[in-house]
């Protein structure tokens, strides 16, 4: 086991923090109380009949109490947290169960990233460790909080595995590293970090810090890949997830963090008192229902099918290079090749810009990330979107590299007709 000690790892002011409390923390509303404690507007939200009719749910979808928007939302969200726990208690990694006491919910994963920094890192003194190429918000949040950054790159593509030996050496030799952020599946790599490698970091014999595993894309990975329930075994493990990806709920901005109960308690103490809105909570609760999960699985199946299609079709396009990284997410990282058939950032950037500006297809240029020379990150879209992307990419690479592509007479006729219509 690790030498983790929460009392010496967390900031003293956070350990001593008395969270904001409202009267409803002491007296739970059963729906019959006269609520005169929170200075709310007792006459209700400023929504007229037409607005309420336009936004009211119908059928079997989620019910959102628009007339209750004048009341502050539940500050604790225990019912929602229990639904998430029900999903993640798979017993793939432990016989123990996680409960709402092991959870923090926030405005996307970004709130959890920032909350962990504020909880454990003293500004201008402590540091975090990241493993590029990785999600950029770790370093952005560190800079916002005046927290230093230590980088230990992942092992070279295509594996992008964690360099466990170098990570542990760095944790032994560098002072004041409080957090390590690991993205699994990685962004932009799409590769899972091996559970055994994470365990080796957790078992570091002297380091007193937190291992944060960001599982934003975990539902596109094989069943049982999530380590969320593993926080019941490790006092210094935090696992973050989001509803933005597999659940398709990016617009409601809901992220969750699983942690030991003491860490979850600290995170909940320092959050804003009503950080999750009532509509967000209602919609999130719906997607964790049986019907919501069924829809998620059906859509995930369609995405996986298109992911497999991209893996088959992209290598056939002249100018597309190697797949870099893994296939455990809803995106793929591929090289763009220049006229000499070499990965090249100038070419990749030109392809990226041409696709967006001339073809109406937006992907992500990742060539400046460590180990990603000449790479574009391509999100897996619908069947129609993938079809349009593949055609646009083939033509764009031909334009950029100056080679010709074969176009069937039928395709040529379609394009001519489309052009005449546009004209």
3-state secondary structure of 52: helix
Is the CB of residue 164 less than 8 Å from the CB of residue 200? yes
According to DSSP, the residues that pair with 415 across neighbouring strands are: none
The contacts found for 144-148 with CB under 8 angstroms, 24 or more apart, are 144/114, 145/114, 145/117, 145/118, 145/121, 147/117, 147/121, 147/123, 148/176
pLDDT, tens digit, for every residue of 219-259? 999 999 999 999 999 999 999 999 999 999 999 999 999 99
pLDDT, tens digit, for every residue of 117-135? 999 999 999 999 999 999 9
Residue with tokens 């993205």: 183
Compute the distance between CA of residue 181 and CA of residue 128 in angstroms, rounded to an integer: 8
Structure tokens at 206: 């002297």
In the prediction, which pLDDT does 406 show?
Answer: 64
In the prediction, which pLDDT does 34 show?
Answer: 87
Percent of all residues in the chain with a pLDDT value above 70, rounded to a whole number: 91
In the prediction, which pLDDT does 33 show?
Answer: 85
Q: Which domains does the chain have, with CATH numbers?
A: 6-54+71-288 (3.40.640.10), 295-422 (3.90.1150.10)
How many C-beta atoms surround the C-beta of residue 238 within 10 A? 23
Identify which has the larger pLDDT, 237 or 44: 237
Residue with tokens 């929504």: 47
In the structure, how many helices (H) and strands (E) does the chain have?
15, 11
Q: Say if pTM beats, i.e. exceeds, 0.85.
A: yes
Q: What is the DSSP code (8-state) at residue 156?
A: P
Burial of 53 (0-12, 13-18, 19+ CB in 10 A): exposed
Structure tokens at 61: 């979808």
How many C-beta atoms surround the C-beta of residue 205 within 10 A? 10
Query: pLDDT at residue 345 above 60?
Result: yes
- What band does 285 get if pLDDT is binned at 50, 70 and 90? very high
Percent of all residues in the chain with a pLDDT value above 90, rounded to a whole number: 81
pLDDT, tens digit, for every residue of 255-281? 999 999 999 999 999 999 999 999 999
According to DSSP, the residues that pair with 378 across neighbouring strands are: 332
The residue-averaged pLDDT of 132-143 equals 97
- What band does 368 get if pLDDT is binned at 50, 70 and 90? very high
The residue-averaged pLDDT of 43-49 equals 80
pLDDT, tens digit, for every residue of 64-103? 777 688 889 999 999 999 999 999 999 999 999 999 999 9
Compute the distance between CA of residue 6 and CA of residue 299 in angstroms, rounded to an integer: 41
According to DSSP, the residues that pair with 343 across neighbouring strands are: 337
Comparing 30-44, 139-153, 302-316, 325-339, which segment has the lowest mean pLDDT? Answer: 30-44
According to DSSP, the residues that pair with 364 across neighbouring strands are: 377
Burial of 176 (0-12, 13-18, 19+ CB in 10 A): middle
Residue with tokens 């559970």: 195
Is the CB of residue 283 less than 8 Å from the CB of residue 363? no
Query: pLDDT at residue 418 above 70?
Result: no
- Which stretches does DSSP call E strand in 243-338? 255-258, 320-323, 331-336
pLDDT, tens digit, for every residue of 385-417? 999 999 999 999 999 998 876 655 555 555 444
CA-based nearest residue to 117, from 212, 244, 186: 212
Averaged pLDDT score across all residues of the chain: 91
- What band does 37 get if pLDDT is binned at 50, 70 and 90? confident
In the prediction, which pLDDT does 26 show?
Answer: 73
| Secondary structure (DSSP) of 326-356 | -SSSSEEEEEEB-TTS-B-HHHHHHHHHHHH
């Amino acid at each position: 086991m690790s030498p983790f000690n929460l009392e010496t790892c967390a900031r003293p002011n956070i350990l001593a923090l008395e969270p904001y409390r409202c009267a409803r923390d002491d007296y739970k509303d059963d729906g019959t109380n006269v609520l005169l404690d929170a200075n709310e507007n007792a006459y209700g939200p400023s929504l007229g009949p037409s607005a309420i009719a336009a936004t009211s749910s119908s059928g079997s979808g989620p019910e959102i109490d628009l007339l209750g928007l004048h009341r502050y939302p539940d500050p604790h969200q225990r019912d929602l947290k229990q639904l998430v726990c029900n999903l993640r208690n798979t017993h793939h990694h432990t016989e123990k169960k996680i409960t709402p006491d092991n959870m923090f919910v926030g405005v996307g994963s970004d709130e959890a990233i920032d909350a962990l920094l504020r909880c454990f890192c003293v500004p201008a003194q402590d540091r975090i460790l990241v493993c590029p190429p990785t999600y950029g918000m770790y370093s952005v949040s560190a800079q916002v909080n005046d927290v230093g950054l230590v980088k230990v790159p992942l092992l070279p593509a295509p594996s992008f595995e964690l360099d466990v030996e170098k990570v542990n050496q760095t944790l032994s030799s560098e002072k004041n590293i409080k957090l390590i952020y690991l993205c699994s599946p990685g962004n932009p790599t799409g590769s899972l970090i091996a559970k055994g490698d994470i365990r080796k970091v957790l078992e570091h014999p002297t380091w007193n810090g937190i291992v944060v595993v960001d599982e934003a894309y975990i539902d596109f990975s094989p069943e049982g890949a999530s380590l969320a329930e593993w926080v019941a075994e490790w006092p210094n493990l935090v696992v973050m997830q989001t509803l933005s990806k597999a659940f398709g709920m990016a617009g409601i901005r809901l992220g969750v963090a699983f942690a030991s109960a003491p860490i979850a308690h600290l995170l909940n103490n320092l959050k804003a008192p009503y950080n999750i809105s009532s509509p967000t909570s209602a919609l999130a609760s719906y997607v964790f229902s049986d019907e919501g999960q069924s829809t998620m699985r059906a859509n995930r199946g369609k995405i996986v099918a298109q992911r497999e299609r991209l893996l088959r079709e992209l290598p056939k396009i002249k100018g597309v290079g190697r797949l870099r990284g893994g296939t455990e997410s809803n995106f793929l990282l591929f090289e763009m090749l220049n006229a000499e058939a070499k990965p090249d950032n100038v070419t990749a950037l030109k392809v990226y810009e041409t696709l967006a500006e001339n073809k109406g297809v937006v992907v992500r240029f990742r060539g400046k990330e460590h180990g990603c020379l000449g790479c574009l990150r391509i999100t897996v879209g619908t069947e129609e979107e993938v079809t349009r992307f593949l055609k646009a990419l083939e033509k764009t690479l031909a334009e950029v590299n100056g080679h010709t592509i074969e176009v069937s007479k039928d395709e040529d006729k379609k394009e001519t007709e489309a052009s005449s219509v546009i004209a």
